[in-house]
Structure 1
């Protein structure tokens, strides 16, 4: 069962439209919006509308929703015209991995060549 929205979570507030964001795609279960601090020419975040603290808890609790995030990430890449040239999908899980917002999300990055050795 999905966690209830967290009133202190910035992504929950974006999902409920209490905080504005540049939305690029939306389904009944996911929302995709542009990152406010892009690390590539295309940098979109895809989040579940339900609150899960990270990708691991999402995958354990709702594998279908985890799969929906990946499906939407691929749709974002197609819409952004980076699917053929290539793109990265990144889940950060935990502080040591660089997670700063504790709401599961996948970064869709593309529009530039990523060189071997870059993370």
Structure 2
């Protein structure tokens, strides 16, 4: 794995970042291209290009820190009414920086941010078929 990314530089202190949280495992900082004011990224200090490479305990820590940040975004000057978490895993999912990162996006009414997909309404038989396939894969792993 190529350990280089801008996030590795931030962890090492070689690139600037407006940090909001840091411990031995993760660092959280302001996104320089925020979807909404107060948008924060939470990253593991140990680089992982994707979720398959991420230690599950560190993955849990990303979300624990995200949860704390969500509360802080509500109580700070950001005054968020809600919060979205977003994590892109792979090119098809929109991942641009190949160092796992959790977006913590504060939301307010009318902020203009949102998912722009078109939900479908599959038949129950199709849902059951896919559920069986996924369940089988989980049981083998």
Report if TM-score (shorter chain) is over 0.5: yes
C-alpha separation in 1, matches of 2:22 and 2:92: 30
Unaligned stretches of 5+ residues in structure 2: 116-141
What RMSD in Å do the two structures reach over aligned CA positions?
A: 2.3
**CA deviation vs aligned residue, 1:9-38 (integer Å, no higher than 9, x gap):** 110100011000000011110000000010
8 Å Cα contact 1:23-1:32 kept in structure 2: yes
Alignment correspondent of 1:79: 72
Greater Cα radius of gyration, structure 1 or 2: 2
Q: Does 1:53 align with 2:46?
A: no
Q: Figure out how many residues of one structure are paired with residues of the other and give that number.
A: 111
Alignment correspondent of 2:132: none
Q: 2:22 aligns with which of 23, 26, 50?
A: 26
Alignment correspondent of 2:6: 10
Q: Does 1:68 align with 2:64?
A: no
Unaligned stretches of 5+ residues in structure 1: none
Give the TM-score normalised by structure 1. Answer: 0.82
- Structure with more helix by fraction: 2
Aligned partner of residue 88 in structure 2, secondary structure? coil
Higher-RCO chain (CA-CA 8 Å, sequence separation at least 6): 1
